[in-house]
Structure 1
Amino acid sequence: MTETAQQTPPIVARRTPQLIGTALGHALEWYDWGIYAIFVPFFAGQFFPGGSQLSAVLSSLAVFAVGFVARPVGGFVFGWLADRIGRRTTMSATVATIAAASFAIGISPTYATVGAWASLILLLARVVQGLACGGELPSAQTYLSEIAPAGRRGRWSSLIYIASVFGNTVGVLLGLVLTLTLTTGEMRSFGWRIPFLLGGVLGLVAVYMRRKMAETETFTEATAEKVRLWPEIVRHRRQAAQVVGLSVGFTVVYYSWVIAAPAYAIGSLHVSSSGALWAGVASSVLLMGVMPFWGGLSDRIGRKPVLLFSTLGSAAVLFPVQWFARDTAWHLFLGMALAAVFISAGVSILPAVYAEMFPTRIRAIGLAVPYSIAVAAFGGTAPYLQTWIGAQFGRSAYTGYVVLLLIVSGLVIATLPETRAKELR
């Protein structure tokens, strides 16, 4: 039996509070972030002047995209803090910030009550959420990768996106319960507020859990080494560029077929609300179920083969996925499930791959800024472009755009070194 195998059980037991705190806090973060896209069809008319429903939805999705613009700023600020004062403290701050913004959306007045001020409140709250999310994902990915055993980092890193999908799935389930319980008029009147208010309250629990987590030993040992930030960032500019190229394809396909697909099906394909949400839940369960397998496989055969399978495989199946996802919930589920198998392979190990690209002294900020730029430019615009391009040029035009970005990411993966089982320093 290898030394790693002998040590793993006590390491898992010792790390359990850290794993739970990281996962549940991250799930809440992405619940708060994802419910915006899920409930857009219901609250869009509450924040923008009367007109067509499509116009209101597009305005709300534009605000969704603006939230992403704030992510690079949040990535820089919180990434710098994570590399200076610690991963744990920064993670507590990000989850508190996004929960507070969620609560603010839940209690905000409507356009009918205060006019354009309602639109401004929504915009500001979304910007604050963008700042928090820009720092949350890099900090959480870095924290989890640093506490993981080197030989099992791929499997452990899958917990990040399992938590992300779980948080989004809880939001979808809540939407399903609300749409089955309330009428469409009630959902547009007050039902949409419930998930935002709940996210704000649960944020208190997440902050408490994260405050009790221990800092990573890797970070603690590295704090004695004083470095100048900007020279280090410049020295690792190649890795930063690779983060952008690696992220663009995964970001767009993930937001299109995991996060925004149910809302798009409701608003543009006219699938029933409950049916679309059930399809989203079922495909998300499949996505979460296969992630540990892909993470473990990357620990055995390497990161690059799994990443290439994910990008090129997703590119190959997206047009069949588009054909499946038509005007019924069953077809939507088939399309999302097929996409989930390929998407899960890449996103499950991205936290490990990112962490293995940078040294400890700039691991959080080195990832946070380029990753947030990629997500802001491509992920934030995905739901808007999916709706607008689909309406103007047809769904195949948008699918071709996603396929092109996946191929770009595949080419970048080919330039990466293999980092399986790399010791983090």
Structure 2
Amino acid sequence: MAAPISAPETGRAQAEGRPGRFRVLLGAGIGNTLEWYDWSVYAIFAPFFAKQFFVSGNATSALLSTLAVFAVGFLMRPLGGFVFGWLADRRGRRFSLTTSMMTMAAGSLVIGLAPTHGTLGTGAALILLLARLLQGLAHGGEIAASYTYVAEIAPPSRRGLWATSMYVSVTAGIVLASLVGAAGSSLFGEQALRNWAWRLPFLLGGLLGLAGLYLRRTLRETDVYTESAGETAETEPGSRGLRHLVRELARNKVSLARILGMTAGVTVVYYVWAVGISGFAITTKGVPATAGLWATVAANLFFMVTLPLWGKLSDRFGRKPVFLVYGAAFLVLSFPLMAALNGSALRLGLLMALALFFLGAFVGIMPAYFAELFPTHVRASGVGVPYSIMVALFGGTAPYVLTWLHVHGLEWLFSCYLVVLVAVGIVTTMLTPETKGRPLT
């Protein structure tokens, strides 16, 4: 059994005027929730505002255009992982977390205030695109800094369990966005959401950024970073620092390759079954919008509750066995899950719950496993850059690819695509060493 955080340790933190680890974890998690709310609300509300920015003959074509902007936003994530990862490795985890939070909130405000096609023509779509590029930059930075922060702040014997707090907070952001959508649909009706009420969740996200700024600014820097990377943190930003970062990333190229291989499949699973499936089901399967959004809320709440189970199992049995449970499950379930989707909101919720349960075996402990593959002075960049590349290539495009294949009667091909990527992740995991209990140096 994992050892509890000792009283002397807590006492030292209090004596030094620093918040205890649990309070720090809570602050990091709430900030993460707000940032993921801003990011996810786009995908959830895309079916409602698509025709406000893209004029076309039918709702599916407009949705495809909106999802294309969703995918393009992901192209900025590798750059965000590099820039904010560099900042986190040079100026500290807290600085990077705070800056990415405010950048995300600014993008949300721009979308909430953006003119529609009827007002500005094609310029409206351009504003939408620029706002999503800004958010993509911020989101790549959030991954780099938050994964690293929670791994470094956690007790070594409970690092897997503490890592699950990241996707508990991530899912809380998605649930919050879904709740806002479900409540808006219930209060205003679908037509109002399509006409004007779609703006409200984006404006709310911008305002919540102020709360996120306060929470992130009160976080303390991690001891691992302060003790092991103090000299690097004092390096002046510039070409010398960037060259050093590139050299250090090159020295850890095997770990970079491992993250690339393990992430390709899981990011498709996540952005379909945790984020995009409700919009897909509402638009293409005829699921009632209000019921579909409530089903999404219920499934994600179930996901949040089950995540700590996987963290505890990884702390006891290791990271690799838990990752392989996810891989085996989706080799078996990818085809049945997609084939079973129909116009029933209840079935949508049950299928999401099943998919998310096994997805948790990967994403729940991912921050711990990935962070354990890198040394402190390059950890944020090492985690953020390859992960963001895979999310940009495979995750951001997943809702678009699924919808496009459905339109062309090739929905089954998407399941084939997913199985191949999951298989790549299984092979990569088997070739990756076990890191449970590895000290962060």
TM range (shorter): over 0.9
Query: Number of paired residues?
Result: 424
Instruction: Note the C-alpha offset of 1:411.
Output: 0.7
Q: Give the 3-state SS of the residue equivalent to 1:41 in structure 2.
A: helix
Task: Give the equivalent residue in structure 2 for 1:182.
Answer: 188
Distance of 1:303 and 1:400 partners within structure 2: 26
Distance of 2:409 and 2:435 partners within structure 1: 42
Selected match of 2:299 from 266, 283, 288 = 283
Consecutive unaligned residues of structure 2, counting only runs of 5 or more, are: 14-18, 233-240
Instruction: Note the C-alpha offset of 1:114.
Output: 0.8
Matched, 1:342 2:358: yes
Q: Give the 3-state SS of the residue equivalent to 2:374 in structure 1.
A: coil
Tell whether the 8 Å contact from 1:74 to 1:133 is kept in structure 2 after alignment: yes
Task: Give the equivalent residue in structure 1 for 2:278.
Answer: 262
Task: Give the equivalent residue in structure 1 for 2:213.
Answer: 207
Task: Give the equivalent residue in structure 2 for 1:401.
Answer: 417
Instruction: Note the C-alpha offset of 1:5.
Output: 3.3
Counterparts in 2 of 1:121 and 1:187: CA distance versus 1, 3 Å:
same
Distance of 1:171 and 1:231 partners within structure 2: 40
Task: Give the equivalent residue in structure 2 for 1:195.
Answer: 201
Q: Deviations over 1:115-170 (max 9, x none)?
A: 11101100000000000001001200100000001100000000001111110011
Task: Give the equivalent residue in structure 2 for 1:377.
Answer: 393
Task: Give the equivalent residue in structure 1 for 2:148.
Answer: 142
| Higher mean C-alpha displacement, 295-304 vs 43-52 | 43-52
| Higher mean C-alpha displacement, 315-324 vs 289-298 | 315-324
Matched, 1:358 2:374: yes
TM-score (norm 1): 0.97
Matched, 1:312 2:328: yes
Tell whether the 8 Å contact from 1:323 to 1:335 is kept in structure 2 after alignment: no
Instruction: Note the C-alpha offset of 1:311.
Output: 1.4
Instruction: Note the C-alpha offset of 1:190.
Output: 0.8
Q: Deviations over 1:375-395 (max 9, x none)?
A: 000001001001001221332
Q: Give the 3-state SS of the residue equivalent to 1:393 in structure 2.
A: coil
Tell whether the 8 Å contact from 2:72 to 2:396 is kept in structure 1 after alignment: yes
Instruction: Note the C-alpha offset of 1:315.
Output: 2.0
Q: Give the 3-state SS of the residue equivalent to 1:260 in structure 2.
A: helix
TM-score (norm 2): 0.93
Task: Give the equivalent residue in structure 2 for 1:29.
Answer: 35
Task: Give the equivalent residue in structure 2 for 1:16.
Answer: 22
Selected match of 2:268 from 245, 249, 252 = 252
Q: Partner amino acid for 1:7?
A: S
Matches within 5 A, 1:116-127: 116-127=122-133
Q: Deviations over 1:233-274 (max 9, x none)?
A: 111111111111111111000111111111110011110001
Distance of 1:123 and 1:16 partners within structure 2: 38
Q: Deviations over 1:78-101 (max 9, x none)?
A: 000000000001100001000011
Instruction: Note the C-alpha offset of 1:7.
Output: 2.1
Distance of 1:18 and 1:360 partners within structure 2: 19
Q: Give the 3-state SS of the residue equivalent to 2:440 in structure 1.
A: coil
Identity of aligned residues (%): 45
Selected match of 1:216 from 197, 201, 222 = 222
Distance of 2:415 and 2:299 partners within structure 1: 19
Task: Give the equivalent residue in structure 1 for 2:258.
Answer: 242
Task: Give the equivalent residue in structure 1 for 2:407.
Answer: 391
Task: Give the equivalent residue in structure 2 for 1:7.
Answer: 6
Q: Give the 3-state SS of the residue equivalent to 2:20 in structure 1.
A: helix
